[in-house]
Structure 1
């Protein structure tokens, strides 16, 4: 049932947002350059890798040594707008259609984090990752990693159709209020370096 709901809602969203997505793609190309889509390998269900797609929010600006500048230096006001409104996440609807993600579930994180989880935290990969999730509507990037993973595992243990509907509803409020977009002093979230416990 959850997979059917994912397919129906993601398909409807992509159809309704086709023109806005095209406009956004053109604006990203003009303001941030090419490629328009940011692609990164993330860990999916059971830790299997898949390609996450989002609108890019940063430039490729480099220093004199040829290395990429910090995130703070590469993100633009337009990029901030995309992140504040979560518009950069819309291409992930394609990942939902492909079956790599669900509308609701723990957020997909880099493959490099897999060996850093405690056994309990690793249970977040027992379900498909989501565009939004229980941690996202309860603090998002303003939470510590330990708190985010605790909420992710709580979702795994309590997953239900009604909980998903509640999370989708709360996501609208969270996006409109622009809560928890980034960690203190960071462009998005801090890097996870392992559990403190």
Structure 2
């Protein structure tokens, strides 16, 4: 008889009870780790890039993405923030001064999206033909502002892309705060307000 089992019996535990408790504790630890991993997929990760990232002015963003139609609202990727930045309405004449902790960006006319697909964390890529995002892992699609169309045709993600808090100063310089992440909105039916149609029906694979 081992010392551990002998000590357990002294305390009133049989060998079977000791094994059951040990097994139960092991299962409990495994379930906790599994739950934490699952939540990691569904909940946006704060500070996935540098905490606060200076993006610059709209003109600087355009100049740094030569060959891409950023001036027309095409999403520009900023690796330091691990974010996509785009002008919401190119016809409004640039970005507006202010702060938006929600990340919606409508009042500031600019939005910064997390690079993580809400499904399983891959990085969607914007298509220069239709201005929509497509995730290469499971084909979830989003309009150029990160809004997810409703329906399985547009992939398995259950919400739109997550957004970062933003600030535009008096000089027009955009700063993205990656420590503040807002969950993406629920999907919208194509054709309804709030979803921008693709510029061409079959851009980058349809």
User: Same fold by TM-score, threshold 0.5 exceeded?
Assistant: no
Higher percent of residues as helix: 1
TM-score of Structure 1 vs Structure 2, range by shorter chain: under 0.3
TM-score by length of 2: 0.21
